[in-house]
Chain A
Amino acid sequence: MDWSTLIAGLLTLAILTFLYRDNPLYKIAESLLIGVSIGYTLVIVWSSTLVDLLFDPLFSQGKMALLIPFILGLLMFSRFHRRTASLSRIPIAVMIGSGAGISIPVMVEARILKQMSATVAPLFNSSGIPDISSLVIITGVICTLGYFYFSREQRGLLGGISRIGTYFLMIFFGTTFGYTVMSRMSTFIGRMEFLLTDFLGLTR
């Protein structure tokens, strides 16, 4: 067994001890995980963002246009002093403005228009037979929207619609929860496979 497998195995066992109760072994493994993750991310971001995209092109290749994002970036730190704090609004305004400008048209297209057109698909197919999927989708959307309509008291027809809406919501939450349990189990099974195969050598 190599050192990396030994360390990974011991740390996996240390994390699993949390299932009994919180303890120093778990704390060590947890702190190591967070520390290594942040350290790794910092190094990657430093080299691939600040060095590759800013420092190298600006100071080595003399791309002076990059002075603008460089200064905007520095202005972010003006928040640390009360007298200069207002300057930080400039880069924040640029970020929010450009972000909104890029995102709004895309969001309207991808999340509203395309989703709406998929929702209002023909309810009958070419041979005149009702399309069950389309009927379920349109019923679900209308009833769920009815559930979130709070401008009128939910009684009578609206009450009935919103009740059906809650069933659709419950089905969605149940499905999502089921998939999440499956996902977490897969993670656990993956670690167990590592422990039994690589670490303990019980299965080959």
Chain B
Amino acid sequence: MKLEQRHWVFLGLFILITLVMLIKVRPDISVSNQTRKMYAYIDSLPSGSILLISFDHEASSLPEIRPLAQAVLSHAFEKGHRLIGMALFAEGTAIGYRMMQDVAAQYGRNPGTDFVYLGFKPQFIAAILAMGESFEQTFPEDYLGNPYRSHELLTTVSNYDDIAAMISIADGSLTTHWIEYAGSRYNLTVLGAVTAAMVTTYDPYLASGQMTCMVGGLRGAAEYESLLGIEGGGSRGMLAQTASHLYIILLVVIGNVIYFRSRRGSK
């Protein structure tokens, strides 16, 4: 078993994260303006407002998406909002259903009256546009096959006019379609809970006001948890996140020092 240079780098990171996770220290988290804005927006809605939650992600991003989604769902249920769940990615369907059930159970919310999960709809653009006309025609049945009208919550929901805002929980560019089709065409307020890799994609939409607010990455989840006063996956992972970033910065510095030294040596 021959170890090369990159193996030592991986091994170093593995040992560092293991050690940091074994230490149960929670760093102080300063909350960014964006997270505050998102929290304040959901908080400012009157209790009982109807929010549409779309699970637009794949299973591979679950470690980052789960803390984000749980924080946002916890806040919404805690405030007494009523939630309609759905998915535009097939892989996110069962994950979204399970997450919604779990968080709703923690807050004692009942299916049918406090939340409904509609399930997956293919062809995202067609689905978003169709929901602008009629939720019932787009989803004649919920995820479990119950008729749309059998849920008390859905009897008052025809289209986006009856929704206070939608939250896209995404690891890709699907939130863009919510902004462009539901936001621009039907004036639906779009909020985002996205992976860190997608934050720069959505910044221009925040700046232009097409997206109302956004919370991003594990850091965003940790910030949201600190506002809620709960400990979740976000805050648990923050020390490891900080340590891993310092480790990468250290490696970059060492790499540059070695590079410039070798260049000076060759001259």
* Interface flag for B248 (CB, 8 Å): yes
Whether B241 pairs with A110 at a CB distance below 8 angstroms is no
Binary flags per residue of A151-195, CB closer than 8 Å to B gives 1, else 0: 000000000000000000000100110011111111111111110
CA distance A188 to B62 in the complex (A): 11
* Interface flag for B111 (CB, 8 Å): no
Contacts of A110 in B (CB 8 A): 179-180, 183-184, 210
Binary flags per residue of B192-220, CB closer than 8 Å to A gives 1, else 0: 00011111100010011110000011110
Whether B245 pairs with A40 at a CB distance below 8 angstroms is no
Residue B66 contacts which of A52, A175, A190, A202 (CB distance < 8 angstroms)? A190
Contacts of A107 in B (CB 8 A): 180
Contacts of A191 in B (CB 8 A): 63
Whether A117 pairs with B208 at a CB distance below 8 angstroms is yes
Whether B185 pairs with A106 at a CB distance below 8 angstroms is yes
The A interface is mostly helix, strand or loop, or mixed, namely helix
Interface residues on A, range: 35 or more
Whether B61 pairs with A193 at a CB distance below 8 angstroms is no
Q: Given A110-B210, A203-B21, is A186 in contact with B64 using a C-beta cutoff of 8 Å?
A: yes
* Interface flag for B22 (CB, 8 Å): yes
Whether A45 pairs with B122 at a CB distance below 8 angstroms is yes
Binary flags per residue of B126-164, CB closer than 8 Å to A gives 1, else 0: 000100000000001100000000000000000000000
Whether B195 pairs with A193 at a CB distance below 8 angstroms is no
* Interface flag for B35 (CB, 8 Å): no
CA distance A176 to B179 in the complex (A): 21
CA distance A187 to B67 in the complex (A): 11
Whether B10 pairs with A185 at a CB distance below 8 angstroms is no
Interface-side segment among B39-47, B75-83, B99-107, B232-240: B232-240
Residue A118 contacts which of B60, B125, B184, B208 (CB distance < 8 angstroms)? B208
* Interface flag for A7 (CB, 8 Å): no
CA distance A117 to B204 in the complex (A): 12
Binary flags per residue of A26-55, CB closer than 8 Å to B gives 1, else 0: 000000000001001100110011001000
**B183 nearest CB neighbor, chain A only:** A110
* Interface flag for A142 (CB, 8 Å): no
Whether B200 pairs with A172 at a CB distance below 8 angstroms is yes
* Interface flag for B121 (CB, 8 Å): yes
CA distance A110 to B209 in the complex (A): 11
In the complex, chain B residues 79-134 whose Cβ is within 8 Å of any chain A Cβ: 90-91, 93, 119-123, 125, 129
In the complex, chain B residues 48-86 whose Cβ is within 8 Å of any chain A Cβ: 58-64, 66
Whether A189 pairs with B209 at a CB distance below 8 angstroms is no
Binary flags per residue of A118-131, CB closer than 8 Å to B gives 1, else 0: 10000000000000
Whether B200 pairs with A175 at a CB distance below 8 angstroms is yes
CA distance A111 to B64 in the complex (A): 28
**A42 nearest CB neighbor, chain B only:** B90
**B64 nearest CB neighbor, chain A only:** A186
Residue B240 contacts which of A40, A41, A102, A192 (CB distance < 8 angstroms)? A192
Contacts of B21 in A (CB 8 A): 189, 192-193, 196, 203
Q: Given A114-B210, A118-B209, is A186 in contact with B217 using a C-beta cutoff of 8 Å?
A: yes
Q: Provide a sorted-by-A list of 5 A–B residue pairs whose CB atoms are within 8 angstroms.
A: A179-B198, A188-B13, A188-B244, A189-B240, A190-B64
